[in-house]
Structure 1
């Protein structure tokens, strides 16, 4: 079997479950399991997923920043809605709401939308709630009053 170097590297690090490696690299868990067996590494212990010290740490463990400022969610998504969910203890928080709270220091008002247009992006500065959308509309109207309608 040809062993993928990226899977082998994450398996040898030993701090991710097969599911986390599969999500991060976009492969099937079976592929990760086959590489683990081919390398002769011990399998993960059941129920021994790495615990996070806080909800914030659980969030950052599943964020993959990109050079263009976006932050891709690599963690769990609800099967029906596709919504990113962050788990810590008994807490289950939608990823966009937590990203917004971490960025702005307050809970979002109303629905959180991806202002950058990328639904997989969880960069806090790329998210907007009712308050920020209203402020942006006011700023747009003021701009139009000063400079006229955009071309």
Structure 2
């Protein structure tokens, strides 16, 4: 039995038109997103002769002149593709062979930063880092907007380290003070420089409350990370005194004179925030051993 005749290809008329214009099977397939075999069968069906190999690379795009005109006007490849339907490779080749330079026409306006107005309002009064921290924006965006606005930042001159400290803190809920200045290390510890010297923001906060220089490391005793509120920080003797008072309230006996490894607890004894005693020397040795065993 004779088979049922095949239905014509849905794009047969378009394929025939391009074949009549002298395009190769591959070029037609790429242009219309169809299979090369389907194009070849339609060429055979209608008796359209094959394109000579010598003409493969010389066949111009149907909108070649329009592409050249748009290139000459300075349009981008993407915009020319949108207007002509030509693939980017064809446009790039025409740009290269025609000696056209870089595009000069911008068809899309640059998108404004969501916090553009807020950033511009702070440019004269704050550094890029401060604006980035205060508004929670990328520092590169602040630099770009500053460059566009042509506004230079002039750092204020502070008479004392305390004045500079006061300009770099912000009160948050709970009476905490957030540090807006520079930070260092993996733990993002607040740091500050004043007149080419390093100053501890937490140490300044401690001195504001007590009137004296701290002994040892100053840390916040509250639950806000790196809080620099004067009422929330303490030095090593202050922390130990508070934790010893907590142990006394709980009825916990005083720790021994030495730990189980023989370290003098008058020198190495430490207390956790909840009053739990531990040996600083043992803890240091454990960390060293862990680092040594890490591959």
TM bracket (short chain): 0.7 to 0.9
- Write the distance in 2 (CA, Å) between the matches of 1:104 and 1:42: 44
- Write the distance in 2 (CA, Å) between the matches of 1:18 and 1:141: 47
Query: Secondary structure of 1:131's match?
Result: helix
Question: Is residue 78 from structure 1 mapped to residue 187 from structure 2 by the alignment?
Answer: no
| Structural mapping, 1:1-151, within 5 Å | 1-3=111-113, 4=115, 5-11=117-123, 14-37=124-147, 41-44=149-152, 48-79=154-185, 82-144=188-250
TM-score calculated relative to the size of structure 1: 0.77
What CA deviation, in whole Å up to 9, does each residue of 1:27-63 have, x standing for no partner? 222211333355xx32316xx4222221011111110
Which is bigger in relative contact order (C-alpha 8 A, separation at least 6)? 1
TM-score calculated relative to the size of structure 2: 0.42
Computed over aligned residues only, the root mean square deviation of the Cα atoms, in angstroms, reads 2.2
- Write the distance in 1 (CA, Å) between the matches of 2:151 and 2:120: 13
Query: Secondary structure of 2:178's match?
Result: strand
CA distance 1:143–1:80, change in 2 (3 Å)? closer
Aligned length: 139
Tell me, which stretches of 5 or more residues in structure 2 are unaligned?
Answer: 1-110, 252-295
- Write the distance in 2 (CA, Å) between the matches of 1:28 and 1:53: 31
